[in-house]
């Protein structure tokens, strides 16, 4: 027959255990910084130098997928540069970016998959020196959050899906930004 446990845990205790589980801890998977110029040549090279100065990593140049005559871009023309930052460096750069925004983000900055992004209009606000030869560039920050165990969905062999309970939701990421950076979400 079925015998109930002598001391079943209450739902409050179960939620507390869930919160303390190290596998539930959210962290920054990557931070992507993007500067889109819209034309190649000299301005794009200077924008790449700005990203390199900020991150200490060489940027990657992105090409246009197709020709858009109204924007004056041709297919395969280099139009933007971006750099992907991970680890403690990503957290430090994200902190600089949020400081420019006065640690204020809007609810619509967050996606349903638990990632968020925002834009900075002038790179000199991030603490870089102004160089008249370089000019001023704005950039997009995009932060991807995840929990430990994400590799099962990314690896090549024995790939599996992450369970619904373990995925990072919009509310999870909003709470994480509030707790980590004391940011206000409008």
Q: What is the pLDDT of residue 108?
A: 94
Phi then psi for residue 29, to 5 deg, are -75, -50
Nearest to 80 by CA among 50, 66, 103, 60: 60
Superfamily of domain 25-185: Ribosomal protein L5 (3.30.1440.10)
Residue 7 pLDDT exceeds 60: no
Q: What is the pLDDT of residue 73?
A: 87
If you average pLDDT over residues 86-112, what whole number do you get?
94
Q: Give residues with Cβ within 8 angstroms of 16, minimum separation 6.
A: none
If you average pLDDT over residues 59-80, what whole number do you get?
90
If you average pLDDT over residues 82-95, what whole number do you get?
95
Instruction: Tell me what percent of the residues of the chain surpass a pLDDT of 90.
Output: 66
The mean predicted confidence, pLDDT, of the chain is 89
Q: What is the pLDDT of residue 6?
A: 53
Q: Convert the pLDDT of each residue in 133-179 to its tens digit.
A: 888 999 999 999 999 999 999 999 999 999 999 999 999 999 999 99
Residue with tokens 């369970």: 163
């Amino acid at each position: 027959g079925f015998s109930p446990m002598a001391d079943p845990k209450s739902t409050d205790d179960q939620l507390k255990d869930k919160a303390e589980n190290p596998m539930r801890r959210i962290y920054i998977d990557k931070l992507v910084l993007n500067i889109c110029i819209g034309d190649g040549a000299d301005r794009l090279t200077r924008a790449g130098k700005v990203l390199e100065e900020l991150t200490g990593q060489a940027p990657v140049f992105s090409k246009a997928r197709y020709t858009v005559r109204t924007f004056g871009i041709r297919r395969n023309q280099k139009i933007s540069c971006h750099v992907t930052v991970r680890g403690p460096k990503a957290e430090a750069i994200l902190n600089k970016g949020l400081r420019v925004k006065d640690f204020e983000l809007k609810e619509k900055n967050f996606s349903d998959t638990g990632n968020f992004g925002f834009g900075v209009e002038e790179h000199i606000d991030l603490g870089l020196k102004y160089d008249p030869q370089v000019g001023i560039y704005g950039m997009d920050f995009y932060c991807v959050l995840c929990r430990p165990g994400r590799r099962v969905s990314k690896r090549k062999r024995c790939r599996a899906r992450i369970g619904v309970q373990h995925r990072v939701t919009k509310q999870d990421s909003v709470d994480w930004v509030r707790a980590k950076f004391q940011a206000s979400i409008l």
